[in-house]
Every structure is written in C-alpha cells, then in structure tokens.
Amino acid sequence: MDPVICTVDVALLTLTAEGLEVALLKREHAPFKGVAALPGGYIHARTDVDARDAARRVLLDKTGIAAPYLEQLATFSGAARDPRGWSISIAYYALVPATTIAQTERDEVRLHSVDRLPPLPFDHGDIIGTAVSRLRSKSQYSSLPCHLLGDVFTLPQLQRVYEVLMGESINKVSFRRKMTEMDMLDPVDGQFESGAHRPAQLYRLKPAFREQLQLLERGL
C-alpha cells in the first residue's frame, strides 16, 4: 500500500456585478507558498468523519464561511499534480451569496472572476473549470442557482441569476411558469423591494430545498 497524499479542496463560488467569481487565498506553506489557490488542506483522519466533513472544516477554517450548499464535485488524482508525490484531492464546490463573502472577517479571501484567473498551482484551474461547468449545467434544470442569492429574493433577481449562469436571456412568462412548476418558493408577505417602480414580491426557498435540489423534467 503505497503512501498517497489525501487532501480536499473547495471551489467557493459566488455571483457579483463582475459575474461568476471564485474565492482564492494565498498559500501559507510550500509548495507554491504565497500563490493564490483554492482553500484546501489535508484530510484529518483522527477528527474528520468523512471527506465532506473535512471540506466543511477546511472552508470554515480558511475563510470563516459555513456554506449552506456544499456538494462533491470530483476527485483529482495522480503522480503529476503535486510535487510532493502521488496525491488525491477530493474537490467540493460551495455556493454562497456575495454578501456572505463581503461580511467575512478574513480579508485574505479574494474573489477572482472565473474568466480571468491568475496562474494557479496544482490542477486548481481544472477544478475551478469543472466546478463552473457543473454549476452552469445543473442550473439548466434545477434549483441550484437559488443558493447564490440571500435568504429572501425576488423572481426578477432569480431570473437574472439564471440568465447570467446560462449566458442567455430567458422568456419571463416561461421562467415564471417553471418556477411555479418547481413549487420550491414560499412568498414572504408584506415585504417588497423598493425603487422608482413597482416593487417585486419577495420569496424564500422552501425548507425542503435548502440542501436538496428540486429538479425539472424538461429543463430551463
């Protein structure tokens, strides 16, 4: 049984005015000390229940963020990806509203547009690329994009999130039909967005879909 380096990495994604962004931190130790990279670390077999638990711990320790949505992405492995030796990274991706990152105490956490990434160590570029395509793909037929917004949000806000992720505009009537069909939103009465126009109804994700996604038969 040859020794293998076992790590987890987390692609923490959020949506800002700049578009889709990923959180990077400067590495504290060699190799690649000082280079911006995904938050990650060794699996602690003594204390972590499983890899998901390790990912949650690493994300909280390095960014101060307890992400409500955390899903396994894929496992990256091999002899070539880490100069220290044959290694495994069980990669996860997490979604948070942009406000969550703005509010964290750790100002080491820096957001980078996924379309303009700096040179990244290991295969972190591949991990981010895989995370972004997974997010875009799942957005076509699930409630996943809701997790990029805060606790309450309006349908026009949600539609803009879907549109940015899918890279195309969506018919308003169809979008609202689909949201009704998905039956995943609870209206929040008496609350509205303000501005020089008609305010929009606020909604909240139904509790059943906070961790479990709602899927659509036919997409969009």
- CB under 8 Å to 113, separation ≥6 — which residues? 18, 19, 20, 21
Judged by CB under 7 A, does residue 57 bind DNA?
no
Q: Helices marked H in 31-171 — which ranges?
A: 51-63, 98-103, 124-139, 155-166
Contact 117, 110 (CB under 8 A): no
Angle at 172 between CA 167 and CA 177, to 5 degrees: 110
196 makes contact, choosing from a second copy, DNA, none, with CB < 5 to 8 Å by partner type, with DNA
Binding residue for a second copy (CB under 8 A) from 12, 15, 43, 202?
43
Q: Which helix (H) or strand (E) holds 173?
A: helix 172-182
Judged by CB under 8 A, does residue 30 bind a second copy?
no
Q: Which stretch binds a second copy (CB under 8 A): 1-9, 148-156, 169-177, 183-191?
A: 1-9
Window 69-88: contact mask with a second copy (x via CB under 8 A): ---x-xx-xxxx----xx-x
118 makes contact, choosing from a second copy, DNA, none, with CB < 5 to 8 Å by partner type, with none
* Site residue total, DNA (CB under 7 A): 23
**CB burial readout 35-48, b (16+ within 10 A) else e:** bbbbbbbebeeeeb
Judged by CB under 8 A, does residue 170 bind a second copy?
no
Q: How far is the CB of 103 from DNA (least distance, A)?
A: 24
Binding residue for DNA (CB under 7 A) from 6, 117, 155, 166?
155
Could you list the residues that contact DNA (CB under 7 A)?
A: 154-156, 170-174, 176-178, 192-201, 218, 220
